[in-house]
């Protein structure tokens, strides 16, 4: 049947399908930020090395589900992405919007796998050619809709603790507040909620920004959460609404400070993910860190049909409510993929939430708000109370969305619907695991909820390994209480990768 030529009229710039590059270019696994065009390192490599040329035409051949005709979408290569009818898009956004606008289908499409040049090579194949890697697996000549499959058992479950993030520049808790007070860009601006935070810390913790006498963040959040949980005001000035606002502001500024310090991605985590992809994809990740370092290290593998899932239904999957720059593809749903390529999905459970998550208490929606240091600063400077701006309003019902992390506090509130579901999911993964590997996690006594999950899922009958160069006797005892045969590797994750230990841990168990 003769292909149909179709070039739909698309909306404003949007990004989906995630090629995150460096900090200046910020993006996310499934989408890039705002209405600003960010060019990924992978895409830049294709342009710089001549695999793609400006003004080249690319094609996406899609078999119509209604009448079995082939629709051919066209896009023009420019330096910032793929251009369709004068608008520029990330490759995946372009593919998804073409299908969504013509057929109303929300099917997940990785643009790197479906856009092809006149020689019928996909973007992924062109990238692999540059790297002298095999390309046959990603032949786009026949596209099929495939649902990722998960075995009933898991070969390895990894627990990531603070040690992983600190190695890549994440600040220690005790340095966050002094860094906040020392930040010249923030403190030179007239920001009312920052003034509120400082006034609160000065009045109740006698803290004025010095490097000594720094209040423990667990104590600060515990103090605020006490009043919020009781539904009681602290004073006529510090009402419930004011305390809630202080909590949101503190989280926002912690996010900014961490984003200022931490690398946009981790070379060590990239190497780890690379070994998972190459050696054993039947693994899952449980992390207690609320930074975005792991997600930021993943995009290089997206082009290879490898994805991660937060294990919760995001509003970012619902294209009807969000503009394209906030669209994500749902990797747990059927994906359009080359017939010879199998999509793999890594479950990523962030048990303490994430600094870029927003939650709506009205419709129970969870949204990932993509951000980096520059966009966070812009948001802070544009509005002294950005937590109530349109950007933080629920796109479904207009309610104000609140940050979703379980901040460092002595008593953690684990009753939030999202956190509750993730704890259940984590328990299921541990139960299904043959091996549990803890990396950079000291099993602190305050994390009694983690010990409860591990104990309930019978960790005594599993192989457990702890990778941590800073193990003291108290930490070892806590692990031995869970499994007397615990194996301790007193080394960093980077060392475990360098000496081949991680590859050994990824070996599939004998059946």
Is residue 308 included in any domain, yes or no? yes
- Residues 303, 447 within the same domain: yes
- Residues 159, 292 within the same domain: yes
- Residues 292, 331 within the same domain: yes
- Residues 282, 255 within the same domain: no
- Residues 469, 450 within the same domain: yes
Is residue 510 included in any domain, yes or no? no
* pLDDT one-digit tens code per residue, 265-279: 788 999 999 999 999
Average the pLDDT over 435-442 and give the result.
Answer: 94
Average predicted confidence (pLDDT) for the chain: 84
- What range defines the domain where residue 364 resides? 154-165+268-373+394-505
Which residue matches tokens 């020392």? 182
- Residues 206, 288 within the same domain: no
Residues forming beta bridges with residue 71, ordered by sequence position = 4, 62
Is residue 213 included in any domain, yes or no? yes
Residue 39 pLDDT: 59
Q: Which two tokens stand for residue 66?
A: 């209604």
- Residues 117, 131 within the same domain: yes
What is this structure's pTM? 0.84
Domain stops at, among 351, 386, 421 = 386
- Residues 208, 236 within the same domain: yes
Number of folded domains that form the chain: 3
Query: Could you tell me the pLDDT band of residue 401, with boundaries at 50, 70 and 90?
Result: confident
Which residue matches tokens 């499959």? 149
- Residues 232, 323 within the same domain: no
- Residues 41, 185 within the same domain: no
Residue 378 pLDDT: 66
Is residue 511 included in any domain, yes or no? no
In contact, 103 and 82? CB cutoff 8 Å: no
* pLDDT one-digit tens code per residue, 31-85: 332 333 445 788 999 999 999 999 999 999 998 877 778 999 999 999 989 999 8
The runs of H, that is alpha helices, within 414-491 are 417-432, 448-456, 473-482
Kindly report each contact of residues 422-426 with a partner whose C-beta sits within 8 Å and lies 24 or more positions away, as own/partner: 422/311, 422/312, 422/349, 422/350, 422/351, 423/351, 423/449, 423/453, 425/311, 425/347, 425/349, 426/286, 426/349, 426/351, 426/453
- Residues 12, 119 within the same domain: yes
User: Domain of 351: which CATH number?
Assistant: 3.40.50.1220
- Residues 161, 141 within the same domain: no
- Measured CA to CA in angstroms, residue 256 lies from 11, 185, 380 at distances of 31, 12, 9
In contact, 158 and 351? CB cutoff 8 Å: no
Is residue 15 included in any domain, yes or no? yes
In contact, 96 and 16? CB cutoff 8 Å: yes
């Amino acid at each position: 049947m003769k292909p149909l030529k179709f070039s739909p009229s698309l909306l404003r710039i949007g990004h989906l399908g995630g090629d995150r590059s460096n900090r200046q270019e910020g993006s996310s696994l499934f989408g890039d930020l705002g209405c600003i065009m960010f060019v990924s390192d992978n895409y830049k490599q294709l342009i710089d090395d001549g695999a793609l040329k400006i003004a080249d035409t690319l094609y996406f051949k899609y078999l119509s589900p209604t009448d079995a005709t082939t629709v051919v979408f066209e896009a023009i290569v420019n330096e910032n992405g793929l251009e369709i009818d004068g608008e520029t898009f990330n490759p995946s956004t372009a593919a998804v919007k073409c299908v969504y606008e013509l057929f109303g289908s929300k099917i997940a499409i990785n643009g790197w796998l479906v856009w092809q040049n006149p020689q019928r090579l996909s973007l992924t194949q062109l990238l692999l050619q540059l790297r002298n890697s095999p390309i046959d697996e990603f032949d786009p000549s026949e596209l099929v809709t495939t649902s990722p499959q998960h075995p009933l058992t898991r070969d390895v479950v990894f627990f990531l603790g603070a040690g992983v993030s600190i190695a890549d520049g994440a600040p220690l808790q005790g340095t966050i507040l002094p860094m906040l007070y020392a930040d010249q860009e923030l403190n030179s601006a007239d920001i009312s909620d920052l003034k509120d935070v400082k006034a609160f810390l000065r009045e109740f913790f006698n803290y004025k920004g010095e490097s000594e006498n720094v209040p423990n963040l667990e104590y600060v959040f515990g103090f605020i959460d006490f009043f919020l949980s009781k539904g009681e005001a602290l004073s006529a000035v510090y009402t419930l609404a004011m305390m809630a606002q202080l909590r949101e502001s503190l989280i926002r500024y912690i996010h900014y400070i961490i984003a200022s310090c931490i690398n946009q991605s981790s070379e060590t985590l990239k190497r780890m993910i690379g070994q998972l992809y190459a050696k054993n994809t039947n693994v899952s990740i449980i992390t207690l860190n609320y930074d975005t370092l792991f997600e930021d290290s993943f995009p290089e593998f997206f082009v290879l049909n490898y994805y991660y899932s937060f294990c919760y239904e995001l509003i970012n999957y619902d294209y009807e409510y969000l503009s394209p720059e906030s669209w994500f593809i749902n990797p747990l749903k059927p994906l359009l993929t080359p017939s010879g390529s199998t999509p793999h999905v890594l479950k990523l459970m962030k048990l303490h939430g994430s600094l870029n998550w927003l939650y709506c208490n009205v419709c129970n929606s969870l949204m990932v708000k993509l951000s980096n240091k520059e966009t966070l600063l812009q948001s802070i400077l544009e509005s002294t109370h950005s937590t109530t701006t349109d950007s933080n309003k629920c796109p479904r019902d207009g309610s104000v969305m609140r940050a979703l992390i379980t901040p460092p506090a002595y008593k953690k509130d684990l009753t939030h619907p999202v956190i509750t579901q993730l704890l259940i999911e984590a328990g299921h993964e541990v139960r299904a695991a043959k091996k549990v590997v803890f990396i950079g996690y000291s099993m602190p006594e305050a994390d009694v909820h983690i010990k409860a999950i591990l104990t309930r899922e019978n960790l005594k009958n599993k192989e457990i390994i702890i990778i941590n160069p800073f193990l003291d006797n108290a930490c070892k005892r806590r692990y031995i209480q869970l499994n007397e045969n615990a194996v301790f590797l007193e080394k960093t994750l980077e060392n475990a990768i360098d000496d081949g230990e991680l590859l050994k841990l990824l070996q599939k168990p004998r059946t």
